[in-house]
């Protein structure tokens, strides 16, 4: 199969491609692309360990070559490498951990209850955009220091509307064309460029007034921290650098969590035992453990980001094979999460498998790993706990269609193709 054809199949039908390749070729296989060095894929835990514990200069992240690069920019925490990445990570880590998470809990709960009150009864609707409304409000509260939903007519509300609309458009077929147009580009072109310019304009409307705010040095939101941050030479970040960081945090900080929640219910409404177990535990007031197990199993069976990658800068051993220096290596999180030697009946949705069991560092990777582990992992878990508890407590959900939803691959994410369509039979106050 030609390199371009193989790459397109991988891009459009990743699940079928990787599982088929593993059946035919084993745990390590090469993918031909238009590039001179083959793309190598592995799903062996020991390979994951070697890549994630390597020195950053020996196995830098492939995120710097990510298809997200034209969207979030080349200098964001997601796409930067080396010292720059570590500096940005150190700056951004505090707002996503410890006491900061506790401060977000009130906003998460309020956004969840507000949204659930608006969901229709006895008619099909997609959960993914509803979950995105919750997680977008939460991340905007953390980034911009807004309490509650942004008021209509404010710069923050206009920015929220643009992001919400562009995320919705990104599920359409035209978005896949735009994605292919931007492969291996640093600067966006076509529809992607128009979308990024629109976001930048709305972002500038928020950044400008904040720069002039009299209480800037007292504020603890992420935008204010970025405006006050200085490089080693005492220079402030440019508006372009700040925009790149903000768009990365807004997009990565809400869409992945929302789709993980959508997948949770897509799986549960088709697995009645798992759903009944969660609902009964939550409504009895003792749901914490089952909620945690359900989240962990959802992220195992349907990881929203199904691959991560490194470029090895020296010859590297993967399983029984040695790959040459400069080889791009992908870890298939999807294949890793469906290894029978790690998970009994891996294709079954069984939250109870996590009773008394902690996820293995190199066996469960929904947040990636090593020094590139997702900055927002703690916030994402906190959001999922609150939202899953509230939906199980207040709603009786059933599948709109008994057939499972296939995965739609959008850029680097794997989302429910129909948005996780459900019907709410009743709602409790």
pLDDT tops 80 at residue 75: no
157-180 average pLDDT score: 80
Ordered alpha helix ranges (H), 186-341: 190-211, 222-228, 239-268, 272-283, 288-301, 333-336
Kindly state the tokens that stand for 270.
Answer: 């088709």
The answer to whether residues 47 and 365 touch, using CB atoms and an 8 Å cutoff, is: no
The domain that holds 122 is classified in CATH as 1.10.630.10
Sign of torsion, CA 314 317 321 327? negative
| pLDDT in the model for residue 220 | 83
| DSSP bridge partners of 395 | 427
Out of 37-51, 53-67, 207-221, the most confident range is 37-51
| pLDDT in the model for residue 171 | 72
335-352 average pLDDT score: 98
Model confidence pLDDT, tens digit, residues 288-329 = 999 999 999 999 999 999 999 999 999 999 999 999 999 999
Please state, in angstroms and as integers, the Cα–Cα distance from residue 359 to each residue in 98, 139, 190, 205, 287, following that order. Answer: 21, 26, 42, 43, 19
Question: At 180, is the pLDDT very low, low, confident or very high (cuts 50, 70, 90)?
Answer: low
| pLDDT in the model for residue 289 | 98
Angle between helices 173-181 and 190-211 (to 10 degrees): 90
- Across 32-81, the runs of DSSP E, i.e. the strands, are 39-42
Q: Coil, strand or helix: which one is 82?
A: helix
245-268 average pLDDT score: 92
Model confidence pLDDT, tens digit, residues 183-192 = 667 787 788 8
Residues contacting 169, CB < 8 A, separation 6+: 175, 195
> How many domains does one find in the chain?
1
Kindly state the tokens that stand for 406.
Answer: 């296939």
Q: Which domain holds residue 244?
A: 3-427
Tell me what the pLDDT averaged over the chain comes to. Answer: 90
Question: At 2, is the pLDDT very low, low, confident or very high (cuts 50, 70, 90)?
Answer: low
Residues contacting 142, CB < 8 A, separation 6+: 95, 96, 100, 104, 107, 221, 222, 253, 379
Question: At 270, is the pLDDT very low, low, confident or very high (cuts 50, 70, 90)?
Answer: very high
Ordered alpha helix ranges (H), 26-154: 45-52, 69-72, 82-92, 99-116, 127-144
| pLDDT in the model for residue 53 | 97
Return the closest-CA partner of residue 253 out of 230, 208, 222, 276: 222
Question: At 20, is the pLDDT very low, low, confident or very high (cuts 50, 70, 90)?
Answer: very high
Q: Coil, strand or helix: which one is 323?
A: strand
198-222 average pLDDT score: 90
* Residue labelled with tokens 């914490």: 288
């Amino acid at each position: 199969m030609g390199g371009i054809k193989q790459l397109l199949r991988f891009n459009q039908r990743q699940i079928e491609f990787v599982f088929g390749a593993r059946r035919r070729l084993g745990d390590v296989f090469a993918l031909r692309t238009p590039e001179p060095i083959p793309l190598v894929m592995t799903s062996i835990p020991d390979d994951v360990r070697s890549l994630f514990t390597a020195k950053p200069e020996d196995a830098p992240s492939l995120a710097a070559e990510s298809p997200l690069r034209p969207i979030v920019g080349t200098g964001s925490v997601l796409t930067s490498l080396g010292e720059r990445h570590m500096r940005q990570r150190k700056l951004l880590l505090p707002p996503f951990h410890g006491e900061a998470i506790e401060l977000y809990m009130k906003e998460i709960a309020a956004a969840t209850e507000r949204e659930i009150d608006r969901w229709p009864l006895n008619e099909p609707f997609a959960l993914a955009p509803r979950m995105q409304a919750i997680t977008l409000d939460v991340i905007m509260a953390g980034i911009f220091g807004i309490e509650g939903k942004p008021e209509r007519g404010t710069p923050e509300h206009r920015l929220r509307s643009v992001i919400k609309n562009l995320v919705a458009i990104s599920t359409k077929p035209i978005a896949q064309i735009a994605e292919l147009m931007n492969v291996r580009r640093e600067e966006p072109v076509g529809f992607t460029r128009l979308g990024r310019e629109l976001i930048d304009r709305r972002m500038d409307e928020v950044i400008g007034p904040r720069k002039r705010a009299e209480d800037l040095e007292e504020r603890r939101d992420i935008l204010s921290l970025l405006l006050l941050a200085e490089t080693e030479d005492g220079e402030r970040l440019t508006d372009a650098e700040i925009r790149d960081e903000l768009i990365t945090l807004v997009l990565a900080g809400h869409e992945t969590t929302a789709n993980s929640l959508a997948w949770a219910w897509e799986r549960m409404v088709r697995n009645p035992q798992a759903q009944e177990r969660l609902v009964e535990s939550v409504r009895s007031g003792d749901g914490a453990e089952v909620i945690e197990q359900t989240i962990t199993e959802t992220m195992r069976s349907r990881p929203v980001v199904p691959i991560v990658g490194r470029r090895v800068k020296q010859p590297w051993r993967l399983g029984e094979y040695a790959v040459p220096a400069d080889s791009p290596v992908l870890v298939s999180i999807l294949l890793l999460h469906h290894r029978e030697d790690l998970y009994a009946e891996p294709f079954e949705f069984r939250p109870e498998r996590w009773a008394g069991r902690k996820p293995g560092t190199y066996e469960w990777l929904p947040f990636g790993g090593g020094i590139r582990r997702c900055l927002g992992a703690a916030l994402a878990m906190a959001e999922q706990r609150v939202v899953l508890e509230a939906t199980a407590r207040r709603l009786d959900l059933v599948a709109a269609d008994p057939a499972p939803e296939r995965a739609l691959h959008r850029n680097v994410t794997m989302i429910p193709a129909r948005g996780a369509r459900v019907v709410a039979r009743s709602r409790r106050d």
